[in-house]
Structure formats: structure tokens, C-alpha cells
Structure 1
Amino acid sequence: MRIILVRHGESLGNVDELAYCRIPDHALPLTQQGEQQAADTAPAIRALLAPGPIATYVSPYLRTRQTLELLNVRDLTERLVAEPRLREQDWGNLQDPVEQEVQKRLRHEFGHFFYRLPHGESGADVDDRVASFLAELELRMLQEPRHPHTVLVVSHGLAMRLLCRRLFSWSIELFESLSNPGHCEYRVLERDGDGDWTIDRPFGQWRQSPDGSTQKTSVR
């Protein structure tokens, strides 16, 4: 079994934070740069996925769906699911730019995992839903012999890091020390016949984990 995780391309919200005050998060489109990033990444993703078939699970946000289209893997896709559990962390109501800055500061001070945004989610909430997604994916593969064993997941930076945290049992302290992957960066997760999972490369870190733990790149 292989899971290829891809982060969306650059979106309007990445270059204009005030865009969140006038456009819902789920409706923020890719920028021209984001479209180009996805198109540039497409050959590498196709090389990983060909000849197919694959199952594709995509966050239903506009920027992730646009990224998927530009990755040009429709012809390889046997099953396509818009999966809400892979969406971005819910930030609640962001119409007030001053409140945006307050919440970002508090989230940084109290930790990205446990701090719950008003009317929104904590990182722990996202962790729960990606764990649910992983469990259901494994169950589908056991119960549906025709389900492709290569899976493409187009999602968001936080969801990617938390999905790997769950799969590799990384500590919360380590998770909070990891940097988001860049736009259209990807990671390749593989499980061998013995049930061991591996990841092709670690995430960047902006600090050493306070508990001294490091990113395991394989786990049984």
C-alpha cells in the first residue's frame, strides 16, 4: 500500500491574509503562482502513480480541488472522493483582522495542538478526524478487494503533518516543532508486506522537539 500526500498550491489566503475577511476559507482559490506550482509538480506525481489505478481523496476546499485538477491524474483515478475529514483546520469567523492576529498569537503561545480557536478547531480536533480517515481507509482496503492499493491524498499542510503524526506515533511536542511542507510538496508513505510503514523524507523542523524525540521514518 502506498499513500502519496500532496499539499495544495499557493492560495489567495497565503498572499493576502485579509482575503479571509471577505471570502470563506473553503472558497479561497489558487493564485497564478499556485496554479504553476501544481502544474510543475504534476510530472513527478504522475511518475509515482502510473500506470494506476489509484484512489484519490481530496479535501473539498477549492484550492485543493484546483490543485488536483492541475496534477492531471484523472485518467489514473478509479475512485475519487471529496473527503471533508481532510479539510483545513477550521478557524471559525475571521471577518475581523485584529481578532485574526490575536488568535494567531494565542495559538502560538499555547501550542498548535491543544489551543482551540473560538468557533473553530484545535489541532487535536484535526488529529481525531485524520485518524478516523486512516482507520476507514484501512478498513475499506480489507473489505473491498478492488480498492486500489495506491492512494493519492490532496490536502493541507497541517492535515499532512497530523496524518503522519498518527501513522508514525510522533509525539505532540515533535508535531509542534515541525514546519509545514511547501506548496505542492509531497511525501510518499509505503507499507510493506510485514505491515511496516516508511516515509520517503522527514518534514522540516523550526526547532528541536522539547521532549528530545525525532521523526521516525519507519514504524511497524
Structure 2
Amino acid sequence: MSAPRQIIMVRHGQSAANLDQTLYNRIPDYRIPLTEQGIAQAKAAGEKIRRQLDGQKVCVYVSPYLRAYQTLEALGIEDLVDRVMEEPRLREQDWANFQNPAEIADQKELRNAYGHFFYRFREGESGSDVYDRVSSFMETLYRHWSKPDYAPNTLLVTHGLTMRLFCMRWFHWSVEYFESLNNPGNAEVRALVTREGRYALDIPFEQWTDADPAKTVMDAPDHIW
């Protein structure tokens, strides 16, 4: 097996902190659970993924966060899973150990002004840090795909920013193009599917501003010298 037929990615369902961000101040981010709506979203995503797998086996890589594991469980595709591997490099972007909502709100404003890819949270990561660990994870994928008994499909159960950065790394998108993209919604599914011998993204990410994958900082309208 040289490469899977498709690489499916799903963002976790709605979490309790998506409704109440004060939870970040008293519960470790990785222990925040899904809501009932989040479980329902994941079940619906599982029906879509089942159709995409079309009875074939899949190898699963899951973020170590509780909401990712609960999403995987709610997908309801256990009968098609060949193997599940916890993959810390697919975790959410680290923002802080315990998040003060007011401080995070201030930093989000700074991030919007500075840029989501390069801005590093004071106690956490930048988008570029996540990009680096996603790149490292891809090297692991290539090694796994070289095994003759690897399943014909790959599934990543992860987070919105991580999904975008995985695609950025895979398709060699520029930083400027990445900055134009929105995260997928809770439990939204994207897939890299083979077309004429190459992978293509089945559903593009929504953009909040116009940009193309080849746009670079040299094409940005404002330069500060």
C-alpha cells in the first residue's frame, strides 16, 4: 500500500466550551467534553463518513482531547475501523494552560491584527507551531502507508485549525492564502480524494476574504517598511 484512497478529516462536535468559554478558566482544555448537540453532530458526520468509506476499512488517528475521542465514539463506524492510534500532534492549538477569558479576548484582537499563522499566544502556540507538528505527523503517515497491510482509507479526528494547517502543508498553500480561510464548523467533514493520480480537497474551506493559494506576502496591499 503506497497511499490511501482518501484521507478523511473531521472536526470534533460542539464542545461545552463552545457554549461557555469560562470553562477554559477551570477545566483543562483537553478534558472539555462534547455537548448533547455535539454528539448529535458527530453521529450525523459518521453517517457521511460511512457512505464515503463504502464498506472499506479505515485507519484512524485521533487527537488526545476528550471531545475528539467522544466524536470518534459517536461516529458509530467501529465495524469499519482497522486501527485507532492516539496522535498528540493532531491536538488543538495550545492557547494557555488555564485561559482567562478577558486575556484571551485581548490576545485574539492582537492575533487578528498580527495574523493567525505567526501570532503566538503568550502561554501557547502560534499557527506556525501547529504547522510544524502537522508536518512531523505527515512523515509518520508516509511510513505507515508503506506497510503492505495498511487500510485503504485514513481518518483524522481533530480540530478546525489543525485541519486547515494539514491541508496547507499538503497542498503547499501560502501563508496569505491560509489567512483567508475560515475553520470548518463543528463535526464538519473534509476529505482529500484521489483524482487522476493526485489528491484534491473535496469541499473547499470557506474564505472570509479573496485570496488564491499562490498569493504571498509580496501581494499584500499594505507594506510597513
2:113 counterpart of 1:109: yes
**Secondary structure, counterpart of 2:95 in structure 1:** coil
Gaps of 5+ in 1: 215-220
Conserved? CA contact 1:141–1:149, under 8 Å: no
Gaps of 5+ in 2: 217-225
Per-residue CA distance 1:87-137 (angstroms, 9 max, x = gap): 000012344222111111111111110111112110000001111111210
**Secondary structure, counterpart of 1:113 in structure 2:** coil
Partner of 1:40: 44
- Name which of 160, 176, 201 aligns with 2:179: 176
Once residues 151 and 89 of structure 1 are traced to their aligned partners in structure 2, the CA distance between those partners, rounded to angstroms, is 22
Change (3 A) 1:7 1:211: closer
Conserved? CA contact 1:94–1:100, under 8 Å: no
| Structure 1 segments (4+ residues) deviating >4 Å | none
- Alpha-carbon RMSD across the aligned residues, in angstroms, is 1.8
Q: Give, in angstroms, the shift of residue 212 of structure 1.
A: 7.0
2:125 counterpart of 1:152: no
User: What TM-score does the superposition give when structure 2 sets the normalisation length?
Assistant: 0.89
> Which amino acid is the alignment partner of residue 66 of structure 1?
Q
User: What TM-score does the superposition give when structure 1 sets the normalisation length?
Assistant: 0.91
Q: How does 1:55-94 map to 2 (within 5 A)?
A: 55-94=59-98
- Name which of 12, 29, 35 aligns with 1:8: 12
Once residues 19 and 170 of structure 2 are traced to their aligned partners in structure 1, the CA distance between those partners, rounded to angstroms, is 31
Conserved? CA contact 1:9–1:34, under 8 Å: yes
Q: Percent same amino acid among aligned pairs?
A: 50
2:132 counterpart of 1:128: yes
Q: Give, in angstroms, the shift of residue 197 of structure 1.
A: 1.4
**Secondary structure, counterpart of 1:105 in structure 2:** helix
Q: Give, in angstroms, the shift of residue 40 of structure 1.
A: 1.9
Q: Give, in angstroms, the shift of residue 8 of structure 1.
A: 0.6
Q: Give, in angstroms, the shift of residue 211 of structure 1.
A: 8.4
Partner of 2:221: none
Per-residue CA distance 1:28-69 (angstroms, 9 max, x = gap): 110111111111222111111232221000101000100000
Once residues 100 and 48 of structure 2 are traced to their aligned partners in structure 1, the CA distance between those partners, rounded to angstroms, is 40
- Name which of 192, 198, 201 aligns with 1:199: 201
Conserved? CA contact 1:50–1:76, under 8 Å: no
Partner of 2:222: none
> Which amino acid is the alignment partner of residue 93 of structure 1?
N
Change (3 A) 1:149 1:192: farther
Conserved? CA contact 1:7–1:184, under 8 Å: yes
Once residues 162 and 47 of structure 1 are traced to their aligned partners in structure 2, the CA distance between those partners, rounded to angstroms, is 25
Partner of 2:145: 141
> Which amino acid is the alignment partner of residue 140 of structure 1?
H
Once residues 189 and 211 of structure 1 are traced to their aligned partners in structure 2, the CA distance between those partners, rounded to angstroms, is 16
